[in-house]
Amino acid sequence: MHDLKNKRILVTGASRGIGQAIAIDLAKHGAKVAVLATRLANLEQTCAAIAAAGGESLPLEGDISQASTAQDSVKAVVDAWGGIDGLVANAGITKDNLLLRMTEEQFDQVIDVNLKGTFHFLKAVTKPMMKQRAGSIVFIGSVVAAIGNPGQANYCAAKAGLHGMARSAAIELGGRGITVNVVSPGFIATDMTSELPEAAQDAMKQKIALGRPGSGQDIAGAVRFLQSPDGSYITGQVMLVDGGLSLG
Ligand code: NAP
């Protein structure tokens, strides 16, 4: 089921949280997984877990807001494994503040990492995937792109941008057999959400129809489906994996 044998997949932000769960899950299902974080040292735990599961990883470091990180990373994967079948653009940050206090720097940082960083990786995988006439690209969006969230105008703008970028890319690249989709998590228990004030965490949790925060594994299952042959006729879509949070 969902056999990813021989798939070569690059996951950004794979040192912790959702990206780590995705990378380990893909490897457990047979993929070779290139994992990226800001520092190689941060990836030790992920690579050890992949090795323990009998998988193969390729650790990569860099700041995704720099175009050179994407170009160098994709080149490293193609050099090592002869091609690239999948991208999971997961790395992201928050710089929350209410609008009146949000600085231009906070706005730019979040756009540069979450939106522009994903664009750099989308662009970098396009050429090798077009040559192969196959590929699966998944952006990690967010439920708040659709419903908004106080203190996150920068983050919501970046994530909503990903949704539009995925739809456009899906139309452009579909003729070459490349799919582009967004998996949009709801409230997932990671370092990112543990930084939120307790009251904000409680307010989000209360809206979850399934009555519990999600885990990285909840997101990994949806990503794996889109990276597998079973998801190959789905493109330009936003898949909400939010336990019903967005239902109100
Ligand atoms: P997290 O625990 O804070 O992990 C973030 C990951 O991104 C880390 O691996 C980090 O690497 C990497 N990263 C951050 N900035 C980077 C940069 N400039 N260059 C390269 N790598 C960078 O976050 P998370 O909760 O797992 O979130 C993962 C994704 O899901 C994000 O895009 C987030 O917006 C999205 N999301 C999360 C939730 C949630 O509830 N947690 C909900 C919706 C969407 P280092 O370890 O090297 O810093």
Give pLDDT, residue 200: 87
CA distances from 247 to 204, 206, 214 (A): 12, 12, 15
15's tokens: 């040192």
pTM greater than 0.75 (yes/no): yes
Give pLDDT, residue 3: 85
Average pLDDT value over all residues in the chain: 97
| Residue among 107, 121, 139, 155 flagged as catalytic | 155
Q: Say which DSSP state 188 is in.
A: B
Q: Is the CB of 38 under 6 A from ligand 1?
A: yes
Q: Is the CB of 189 under 6 A from ligand 1?
A: no
Q: Which atom of ligand 1 is nearest to the CA of 143?
A: 43
- C-alpha 15/C-alpha 111 separation (Å) is 21
pLDDT in tens, 23-59: 999 999 999 999 999 999 999 999 999 999 999 999 9
Give pLDDT, residue 48: 98
Residues 3/82, Cβ–Cβ less than 8 Å: no
Report the separation in Å between the CA atom of 84 and the middle of ligand 1, taken as the mean of its atom positions. 22
Residue 1 has pLDDT above 60, yes or no: no
- Catalytic annotation on 155? yes
Residues 208/244, Cβ–Cβ less than 8 Å: yes
Q: Where are the alpha helices (DSSP H) in the chain?
A: 17-28, 44-52, 67-81, 104-110, 117-132, 144-147, 153-173, 191-194, 198-206, 216-227
Give pLDDT, residue 231: 97
Report the separation in Å between the CA atom of 61 and the middle of ligand 1, taken as the mean of its atom positions. 14
pLDDT in tens, 123-173: 999 999 999 999 999 999 999 999 999 999 999 999 999 999 999 999 999
